[in-house]
Homo-oligomer: A and B are copies of this chain.
Protein backbone atom coordinates (compact mmCIF):
# COMPACT_ATOMS: atom_id res chain seq x y z
CA UNK A 1 0.00 0.00 0.00
CA UNK A 2 1.31 3.38 -0.99
CA UNK A 3 1.22 6.33 1.38
CA UNK A 4 3.42 8.82 -0.42
CA UNK A 5 6.73 7.81 1.09
CA UNK A 6 9.53 8.02 -1.44
CA UNK A 7 10.32 5.12 -3.75
CA UNK A 8 13.39 6.75 -5.30
CA UNK A 9 16.20 8.69 -3.69
CA UNK A 10 14.95 12.14 -4.68
CA UNK A 11 12.20 13.60 -6.85
CA UNK A 12 13.05 13.93 -10.53
CA UNK A 13 13.35 17.39 -12.08
CA UNK A 14 10.46 17.50 -14.51
CA UNK A 15 9.19 19.71 -17.30
CA UNK A 16 6.04 19.73 -19.41
CA UNK A 17 5.35 20.53 -23.05
CA UNK A 18 1.73 21.38 -23.74
CA UNK A 19 -0.91 20.63 -21.15
CA UNK A 20 -1.70 24.25 -20.34
CA UNK A 21 -4.89 26.09 -19.60
CA UNK A 22 -6.96 24.80 -22.54
CA UNK A 23 -5.70 21.25 -22.36
CA UNK A 24 -7.94 18.44 -21.19
CA UNK A 25 -5.08 16.20 -20.24
CA UNK A 26 -2.38 18.45 -18.80
CA UNK A 27 -3.98 18.54 -15.37
CA UNK A 28 -4.05 14.76 -15.30
CA UNK A 29 -0.29 14.66 -15.93
CA UNK A 30 0.38 17.08 -13.09
CA UNK A 31 -2.04 15.32 -10.75
CA UNK A 32 -0.36 12.00 -11.46
CA UNK A 33 3.23 13.15 -11.35
CA UNK A 34 2.94 15.41 -8.32
CA UNK A 35 0.72 13.24 -6.17
CA UNK A 36 3.38 12.58 -3.61
CA UNK A 37 6.07 15.21 -4.15
CA UNK A 38 8.52 12.38 -3.81
CA UNK A 39 8.64 11.25 -7.44
CA UNK A 40 8.65 14.44 -9.52
CA UNK A 41 8.94 18.18 -9.04
CA UNK A 42 7.64 20.42 -11.79
CA UNK A 43 10.33 22.97 -12.60
CA UNK A 44 9.87 24.03 -16.20
CA UNK A 45 7.23 24.16 -18.88
CA UNK A 46 6.37 25.19 -22.41
CA UNK A 47 2.69 24.84 -21.72
CA UNK A 48 1.01 26.44 -24.67
CA UNK A 49 1.36 27.21 -28.35
CA UNK A 50 0.43 30.74 -27.24
CA UNK A 51 3.57 31.68 -25.35
CA UNK A 52 1.99 34.43 -23.28
CA UNK A 53 -0.91 32.25 -22.21
CA UNK A 54 1.57 29.51 -21.40
CA UNK A 55 3.65 31.74 -19.17
CA UNK A 56 0.57 33.14 -17.44
CA UNK A 57 -0.59 29.63 -16.76
CA UNK A 58 2.79 28.59 -15.37
CA UNK A 59 2.82 31.53 -12.99
CA UNK A 60 -0.70 30.65 -11.94
CA UNK A 61 0.36 27.20 -10.85
CA UNK A 62 3.09 28.84 -8.78
CA UNK A 63 6.03 28.08 -11.04
CA UNK A 64 9.13 30.16 -11.47
CA UNK A 65 8.26 32.55 -14.29
CA UNK A 66 11.73 32.35 -15.74
CA UNK A 67 11.29 28.67 -16.41
CA UNK A 68 8.00 29.06 -18.28
CA UNK A 69 9.25 28.93 -21.85
CA UNK A 70 7.69 30.05 -25.13
CA UNK A 71 8.42 26.73 -26.85
CA UNK A 72 10.03 23.39 -26.22
CA UNK A 73 13.24 24.10 -28.11
CA UNK A 74 13.91 27.15 -26.00
CA UNK A 75 13.16 25.11 -22.93
CA UNK A 76 15.56 22.31 -23.88
CA UNK A 77 18.33 24.80 -24.58
CA UNK A 78 17.85 26.86 -21.44
CA UNK A 79 17.38 23.98 -19.09
CA UNK A 80 20.45 22.22 -20.43
CA UNK A 81 22.50 25.12 -19.19
CA UNK A 82 21.25 24.91 -15.63
CA UNK A 83 22.80 22.85 -12.88
CA UNK A 84 19.28 22.07 -11.73
CA UNK A 85 17.86 21.66 -15.22
CA UNK A 86 15.06 19.22 -15.90
CA UNK A 87 15.94 15.61 -16.52
CA UNK A 88 12.60 14.35 -17.79
CA UNK A 89 9.87 15.93 -19.87
CA UNK A 90 6.24 15.07 -20.51
CA UNK A 91 4.69 15.71 -23.90
CA UNK A 92 0.98 16.54 -23.86
CA UNK A 93 0.61 18.04 -27.31
CA UNK A 94 -1.42 16.93 -30.35
CA UNK A 95 -0.33 13.64 -31.91
CA UNK A 96 1.39 15.11 -34.93
CA UNK A 97 4.14 16.68 -32.84
CA UNK A 98 5.02 13.71 -30.66
CA UNK A 99 7.73 12.27 -32.88
CA UNK A 100 9.63 15.46 -33.41
CA UNK A 101 9.48 16.55 -29.78
CA UNK A 102 10.41 13.14 -28.44
CA UNK A 103 13.39 13.01 -30.74
CA UNK A 104 14.46 16.48 -29.66
CA UNK A 105 14.09 15.63 -26.00
CA UNK A 106 16.16 12.46 -26.26
CA UNK A 107 18.81 14.33 -28.16
CA UNK A 108 18.77 16.93 -25.38
CA UNK A 109 19.48 14.12 -22.94
CA UNK A 110 16.03 13.95 -21.38
CA UNK A 111 13.85 11.03 -20.42
CA UNK A 112 10.44 11.29 -22.11
CA UNK A 113 6.88 10.63 -21.06
CA UNK A 114 4.54 11.02 -24.02
CA UNK A 115 0.83 10.99 -24.72
CA UNK A 116 -0.74 8.27 -26.82
CA UNK A 117 -0.94 7.41 -29.65
CA UNK A 118 2.81 7.68 -29.52
CA UNK A 119 3.63 8.46 -33.18
CA UNK A 120 2.09 8.06 -36.62
CA UNK A 121 4.10 5.03 -37.78
CA UNK A 122 5.76 2.04 -36.24
CA UNK A 123 8.92 2.94 -38.18
CA UNK A 124 9.08 6.18 -36.21
CA UNK A 125 8.56 4.12 -33.09
CA UNK A 126 11.47 1.79 -33.89
CA UNK A 127 13.71 4.73 -34.71
CA UNK A 128 12.93 6.43 -31.39
CA UNK A 129 13.36 3.18 -29.52
CA UNK A 130 16.85 2.82 -30.96
CA UNK A 131 17.64 6.43 -30.11
CA UNK A 132 16.42 6.02 -26.54
CA UNK A 133 18.52 2.93 -26.12
CA UNK A 134 21.53 4.73 -27.48
CA UNK A 135 20.94 7.65 -25.13
CA UNK A 136 20.15 5.43 -22.13
CA UNK A 137 16.77 7.04 -21.63
CA UNK A 138 13.24 5.90 -20.88
CA UNK A 139 10.27 6.66 -23.11
CA UNK A 140 7.00 6.10 -21.24
CA UNK A 141 3.50 6.37 -22.69
CA UNK A 142 0.63 7.82 -20.65
CA UNK A 143 -1.96 5.10 -20.89
CA UNK A 144 -3.41 6.68 -17.78
CA UNK A 145 -6.44 4.44 -17.33
CA UNK A 146 -4.12 1.45 -17.17
CA UNK A 147 -2.92 2.55 -13.75
CA UNK A 148 -5.99 1.07 -12.09
CA UNK A 149 -4.56 -1.75 -10.02
CA UNK A 150 -7.53 -4.04 -10.58
CA UNK A 151 -6.01 -4.69 -14.00
CA UNK A 152 -3.03 -6.20 -12.21
CA UNK A 153 -5.46 -8.40 -10.31
CA UNK A 154 -6.78 -9.64 -13.65
CA UNK A 155 -3.24 -10.20 -14.88
CA UNK A 156 -2.38 -12.22 -11.78
CA UNK A 157 -5.54 -14.33 -11.91
CA UNK A 158 -5.07 -15.11 -15.59
CA UNK A 159 -1.46 -16.04 -15.03
CA UNK A 160 -2.52 -18.27 -12.16
CA UNK A 161 -4.93 -20.09 -14.47
CA UNK A 162 -8.07 -19.04 -12.63
CA UNK A 163 -10.09 -18.77 -15.83
CA UNK A 164 -8.36 -21.54 -17.77
CA UNK A 165 -7.30 -21.11 -21.38
CA UNK A 166 -8.40 -17.78 -22.86
CA UNK A 167 -11.03 -18.09 -25.57
CA UNK A 168 -12.74 -14.75 -26.06
CA UNK A 169 -11.54 -11.19 -25.50
CA UNK A 170 -14.21 -8.51 -25.50
CA UNK A 171 -13.11 -4.88 -25.42
CA UNK A 172 -15.03 -1.64 -25.62
CA UNK A 173 -14.31 2.02 -25.20
CA UNK A 174 -16.99 4.24 -26.58
CA UNK A 175 -18.71 7.53 -25.89
CA UNK A 176 -21.14 9.78 -27.68
CA UNK A 177 -19.61 13.21 -27.34
CA UNK A 178 -19.10 13.46 -31.08
CA UNK A 179 -22.52 12.23 -32.16
CA UNK A 180 -22.72 15.51 -34.02
CA UNK A 181 -19.92 17.67 -35.41
CA UNK A 182 -20.40 20.70 -33.21
CA UNK A 183 -17.21 20.18 -31.24
CA UNK A 184 -15.27 19.54 -34.46
CA UNK A 185 -15.96 23.17 -35.32
CA UNK A 186 -15.80 24.87 -31.94
CA UNK A 187 -13.39 23.02 -29.68
CA UNK A 188 -9.66 23.34 -30.20
CA UNK A 189 -9.22 20.10 -28.31
CA UNK A 190 -11.47 18.32 -30.79
CA UNK A 191 -10.60 20.06 -34.06
CA UNK A 192 -7.16 18.53 -34.45
CA UNK A 193 -8.42 15.08 -33.58
CA UNK A 194 -10.29 14.87 -36.90
CA UNK A 195 -7.48 16.38 -38.97
CA UNK A 196 -5.26 13.57 -40.36
CA UNK A 197 -2.29 15.88 -40.58
CA UNK A 198 -2.35 16.38 -36.81
CA UNK A 199 -4.14 13.31 -35.55
CA UNK A 200 -2.51 10.74 -37.79
CA UNK A 201 -4.19 7.88 -39.62
CA UNK A 202 -7.07 7.39 -37.18
CA UNK A 203 -9.43 9.21 -34.86
CA UNK A 204 -11.12 6.97 -32.31
CA UNK A 205 -8.83 3.98 -32.83
CA UNK A 206 -5.90 6.06 -31.65
CA UNK A 207 -7.68 8.49 -29.40
CA UNK A 208 -9.72 5.97 -27.47
CA UNK A 209 -9.08 2.33 -28.13
CA UNK A 210 -5.30 2.28 -27.96
CA UNK A 211 -5.89 2.67 -24.23
CA UNK A 212 -8.12 -0.38 -24.12
CA UNK A 213 -5.87 -2.37 -26.40
CA UNK A 214 -2.91 -1.65 -24.12
CA UNK A 215 -4.94 -2.63 -21.07
CA UNK A 216 -5.74 -5.95 -22.74
CA UNK A 217 -2.05 -6.56 -23.35
CA UNK A 218 -1.27 -5.57 -19.78
CA UNK A 219 -3.59 -8.19 -18.39
CA UNK A 220 -2.78 -10.88 -20.97
CA UNK A 221 0.88 -10.32 -21.86
CA UNK A 222 1.20 -13.75 -23.43
CA UNK A 223 -1.60 -13.28 -25.93
CA UNK A 224 -0.40 -12.39 -29.42
CA UNK A 225 -2.68 -11.34 -32.25
CA UNK A 226 -2.34 -13.42 -35.39
CA UNK A 227 -4.72 -11.58 -37.66
CA UNK A 228 -7.31 -8.88 -37.38
CA UNK A 229 -10.11 -7.21 -39.30
CA UNK A 230 -11.24 -3.63 -38.83
CA UNK A 231 -14.40 -2.00 -40.12
CA UNK A 232 -14.45 1.74 -39.60
CA UNK A 233 -17.05 4.42 -40.36
CA UNK A 234 -17.31 8.18 -40.45
CA UNK A 235 -20.91 8.77 -39.43
CA UNK A 236 -20.20 12.47 -39.46
CA UNK A 237 -19.03 12.64 -43.04
CA UNK A 238 -16.69 15.57 -42.62
CA UNK A 239 -14.44 13.36 -40.51
CA UNK A 240 -13.60 11.01 -43.38
CA UNK A 241 -11.15 9.42 -43.88
CA UNK A 242 -10.86 9.41 -40.10
CA UNK A 243 -13.35 7.20 -38.32
CA UNK A 244 -15.72 8.10 -35.52
CA UNK A 245 -16.72 4.46 -35.03
CA UNK A 246 -14.83 1.23 -35.55
CA UNK A 247 -15.21 -2.46 -34.95
CA UNK A 248 -12.15 -4.71 -34.76
CA UNK A 249 -12.11 -8.50 -34.78
CA UNK A 250 -8.99 -10.37 -33.73
CA UNK A 251 -7.64 -13.91 -33.89
CA UNK A 252 -4.98 -14.74 -31.35
CA UNK A 253 -2.22 -17.26 -31.82
CA UNK A 254 -3.65 -19.63 -29.21
CA UNK A 255 -6.97 -19.87 -31.07
CA UNK A 256 -8.78 -17.26 -29.01
CA UNK A 257 -10.87 -14.62 -30.72
CA UNK A 258 -11.46 -11.03 -29.77
CA UNK A 259 -13.57 -8.02 -30.54
CA UNK A 260 -13.19 -4.34 -29.88
CA UNK A 261 -15.65 -1.51 -30.32
CA UNK A 262 -14.53 2.05 -30.18
CA UNK A 263 -16.70 5.03 -30.94
CA UNK A 264 -17.29 8.66 -30.23
CA UNK A 265 -20.82 8.48 -31.66
CA UNK A 266 -22.26 5.97 -29.20
CA UNK A 267 -24.85 8.55 -28.22
CA UNK A 268 -25.46 8.79 -24.51
CA UNK A 269 -22.87 6.20 -23.53
CA UNK A 270 -20.99 7.38 -20.47
CA UNK A 271 -19.30 4.31 -19.14
CA UNK A 272 -15.77 4.16 -20.39
CA UNK A 273 -13.69 1.03 -20.82
CA UNK A 274 -15.24 -2.40 -20.67
CA UNK A 275 -13.08 -5.50 -20.66
CA UNK A 276 -14.25 -9.10 -20.50
CA UNK A 277 -11.90 -12.05 -20.79
CA UNK A 278 -13.56 -15.43 -21.25
CA UNK A 279 -11.60 -18.55 -20.44
CA UNK A 280 -12.38 -22.23 -20.55
CA UNK A 281 -13.23 -22.22 -16.84
CA UNK A 282 -14.44 -18.76 -16.06
CA UNK A 283 -14.47 -15.12 -17.01
CA UNK A 284 -13.19 -11.83 -15.69
CA UNK A 285 -15.04 -8.59 -16.33
CA UNK A 286 -14.08 -5.03 -15.45
CA UNK A 287 -15.65 -1.71 -16.37
CA UNK A 288 -13.73 1.41 -15.49
CA UNK A 289 -16.78 3.40 -14.47
CA UNK A 290 -16.91 1.15 -11.43
CA UNK A 291 -13.24 0.39 -11.55
CA UNK A 292 -12.90 -0.83 -7.98
CA UNK A 293 -14.86 -3.97 -8.78
CA UNK A 294 -13.89 -7.03 -10.74
CA UNK A 295 -16.36 -9.75 -11.62
CA UNK A 296 -15.06 -13.30 -11.56
CA UNK A 297 -17.53 -15.75 -13.01
CA UNK A 298 -16.74 -19.43 -12.91
CA UNK A 299 -19.17 -21.45 -14.96
CA UNK A 300 -21.52 -23.32 -12.65
CA UNK A 301 -20.61 -21.40 -9.49
CA UNK A 302 -22.05 -18.27 -7.92
CA UNK A 303 -20.54 -15.23 -9.57
CA UNK A 304 -18.04 -13.32 -7.49
CA UNK A 305 -17.15 -9.67 -7.19
CA UNK A 306 -13.66 -8.79 -6.07
CA UNK A 307 -13.42 -5.39 -4.45
CA UNK A 308 -10.44 -3.04 -4.41
CA UNK A 309 -8.16 -2.92 -1.38
CA UNK A 310 -9.28 -6.19 0.16
CA UNK A 311 -6.67 -8.55 1.62
CA UNK A 312 -7.78 -11.41 -0.65
CA UNK A 313 -6.44 -9.60 -3.71
CA UNK A 314 -3.10 -10.42 -5.22
CA UNK A 315 -0.17 -8.55 -3.71
CA UNK A 316 0.72 -7.09 -7.10
CA UNK A 317 -2.67 -5.41 -7.05
CA UNK A 318 -2.57 -4.21 -3.47
CA UNK A 319 0.96 -2.87 -3.93
CA UNK A 320 -0.62 0.03 -5.82
CA UNK A 321 -3.38 0.62 -3.27
CA UNK A 322 -3.51 4.13 -1.80
CA UNK A 323 -6.80 4.89 -0.06
CA UNK A 324 -7.99 1.64 1.45
CA UNK A 325 -11.29 -0.18 1.40
CA UNK A 326 -14.55 1.78 1.18
CA UNK A 327 -12.67 4.74 -0.24
CA UNK A 328 -13.24 5.18 -3.95
CA UNK A 329 -10.20 5.60 -6.14
CA UNK A 330 -10.48 7.20 -9.55
CA UNK A 331 -8.50 8.32 -12.53
CA UNK A 332 -6.32 10.61 -10.40
CA UNK A 333 -5.06 7.59 -8.52
CA UNK A 334 -4.50 5.62 -11.72
CA UNK A 335 -2.36 8.40 -13.16
CA UNK A 336 -0.41 8.60 -9.91
CA UNK A 337 0.34 4.89 -10.21
CA UNK A 338 1.56 5.24 -13.77
CA UNK A 339 3.72 8.25 -13.06
CA UNK A 340 5.25 6.61 -10.01
CA UNK A 341 6.31 3.72 -12.21
CA UNK A 342 7.78 6.11 -14.75
CA UNK A 343 9.82 7.61 -11.91
CA UNK A 344 11.00 4.22 -10.74
CA UNK A 345 11.93 3.27 -14.31
CA UNK A 346 13.86 6.49 -14.89
CA UNK A 347 15.67 6.17 -11.59
CA UNK A 348 16.57 2.56 -12.37
CA UNK A 349 17.74 3.52 -15.85
CA UNK A 350 19.91 6.26 -14.37
CA UNK A 351 21.42 3.69 -12.04
CA UNK A 352 21.73 0.99 -14.72
CA UNK A 353 19.48 -1.17 -12.58
CA UNK A 354 18.32 -3.57 -15.28
CA UNK A 355 16.82 -6.00 -12.77
CA UNK A 356 14.30 -3.42 -11.63
CA UNK A 357 13.55 -2.44 -15.21
CA UNK A 358 12.98 -6.01 -16.25
CA UNK A 359 10.42 -6.63 -13.53
CA UNK A 360 8.62 -3.31 -13.69
CA UNK A 361 5.25 -3.44 -15.42
CA UNK A 362 4.49 -0.07 -17.02
CA UNK A 363 3.65 1.37 -20.44
CA UNK A 364 7.06 1.68 -22.04
CA UNK A 365 8.25 2.38 -25.59
CA UNK A 366 7.42 -1.17 -26.65
CA UNK A 367 3.85 -0.72 -25.50
CA UNK A 368 3.75 2.52 -27.46
CA UNK A 369 5.05 0.89 -30.63
CA UNK A 370 2.69 -2.04 -30.20
CA UNK A 371 -0.19 0.43 -30.05
CA UNK A 372 0.95 2.20 -33.21
CA UNK A 373 1.30 -1.10 -35.03
CA UNK A 374 -2.16 -2.21 -33.93
CA UNK A 375 -3.61 1.01 -35.37
CA UNK A 376 -1.62 0.55 -38.58
CA UNK A 377 -3.07 -2.91 -39.02
CA UNK A 378 -6.57 -1.73 -38.25
CA UNK A 379 -6.30 1.05 -40.78
CA UNK A 380 -4.82 -1.23 -43.41
CA UNK A 381 -7.65 -3.69 -42.93
CA UNK A 382 -10.32 -1.02 -42.97
CA UNK A 383 -8.94 0.75 -46.01
CA UNK A 384 -8.90 -2.48 -47.96
CA UNK A 385 -12.56 -3.11 -47.34
CA UNK A 386 -12.57 -4.45 -43.80
CA UNK A 387 -10.63 -7.57 -44.69
CA UNK A 388 -8.48 -9.83 -42.56
CA UNK A 389 -4.82 -8.87 -42.29
CA UNK A 390 -2.12 -11.14 -40.90
CA UNK A 391 0.15 -9.78 -38.20
CA UNK A 392 3.54 -11.28 -38.91
CA UNK A 393 7.15 -10.23 -39.11
CA UNK A 394 5.97 -6.91 -37.83
CA UNK A 395 5.02 -6.29 -41.43
CA UNK A 396 1.39 -7.13 -41.87
CA UNK A 397 0.16 -8.48 -45.17
CA UNK A 398 -3.30 -8.57 -46.58
CA UNK A 399 -4.65 -12.11 -46.51
Interface string of A136-152 (1 = CB under 8 A from B): 00000000000000000
List, in ascending order, chain B residues with CB within 8 A of A259's CB: 247, 259, 261
Task: Name which residue of chain B comes closest to A172, CB basis.
Answer: B170
Known A-B contacts A179-B281, A247-B257; A268 and B303 likewise in contact (beta carbons under 8 Å): yes
Interface: A350 (CB within 8 A): no
Interface string of A148-173 (1 = CB under 8 A from B): 00000000000000011001101000
CA distance A265 to B279 in the complex (A): 9
Interface string of A164-200 (1 = CB under 8 A from B): 1001101000011101100000000000000000000
Closest chain-B Cβ to A184's Cβ sits at a distance in Å of 14
Partner of A323 from the list B28, B34, B281, B306 (CB cut-off 8 Å) is B28
Interface: A55 (CB within 8 A): no
Interface: A333 (CB within 8 A): yes
List, in ascending order, chain B residues with CB within 8 A of A74's CB: none
Chain A at the B interface: SS class: loop
Binds B, one of A76-84, A109-117, A290-298, A361-369: A290-298
Interface: A239 (CB within 8 A): no
Complex contact A298–B167 (CB within 8 A): no
CA distance A296 to B304 in the complex (A): 9
List, in ascending order, chain B residues with CB within 8 A of A328's CB: 272, 288-289, 291, 328, 330-331
Closest chain-B Cβ to A58's Cβ sits at a distance in Å of 10
List, in ascending order, chain B residues with CB within 8 A of A31's CB: 4, 35, 322
Partner of A62 from the list B10, B292, B385, B386 (CB cut-off 8 Å) is B10
CA distance A283 to B174 in the complex (A): 13
Partner of A3 from the list B21, B283, B322 (CB cut-off 8 Å) is B21
CA distance A328 to B169 in the complex (A): 24
Closest chain-B Cβ to A154's Cβ sits at a distance in Å of 14
Closest chain-B Cβ to A13's Cβ sits at a distance in Å of 13
Complex contact B272–A257 (CB within 8 A): no
CA distance A268 to B170 in the complex (A): 14
Interface: A282 (CB within 8 A): yes
Partner of A38 from the list B61, B247, B272 (CB cut-off 8 Å) is B61
Known A-B contacts A38-B61, A322-B27; A176 and B267 likewise in contact (beta carbons under 8 Å): no
Complex contact B278–A267 (CB within 8 A): yes
Binds B, one of A89-97, A127-135, A307-315, A341-349: A307-315
Closest chain-B Cβ to A79's Cβ sits at a distance in Å of 20
Task: Name which residue of chain B comes closest to A22, CB basis.
Answer: B3
Known A-B contacts A261-B170, A323-B332, A330-B328; A266 and B290 likewise in contact (beta carbons under 8 Å): no
List, in ascending order, chain B residues with CB within 8 A of A235's CB: 167, 255, 280
Partner of A245 from the list B167, B322, B323, B386 (CB cut-off 8 Å) is B167
Interface: A121 (CB within 8 A): no
29 contacts between A and B (CB under 8 A): A3-B21, A3-B26, A5-B57, A28-B323, A37-B42, A168-B263, A168-B265, A179-B281, A180-B280, A259-B261, A266-B283, A267-B281, A267-B282, A268-B296, A268-B298, A268-B299, A268-B301, A269-B278, A270-B303, A270-B307, A289-B328, A290-B290, A304-B304, A327-B330, A329-B331, A330-B330, A330-B332, A332-B332, A387-B387
| Sample of 9 more A-B contacts, CB < 8 Å, known A10-B62, A176-B297, A267-B280 | A6-B61, A11-B62, A170-B261, A259-B259, A265-B278, A267-B281, A268-B297, A269-B297, A289-B290
Q: List the 3 closest A-B pairs by CB distance, nearest first.
A: A268-B297, A330-B330, A328-B330
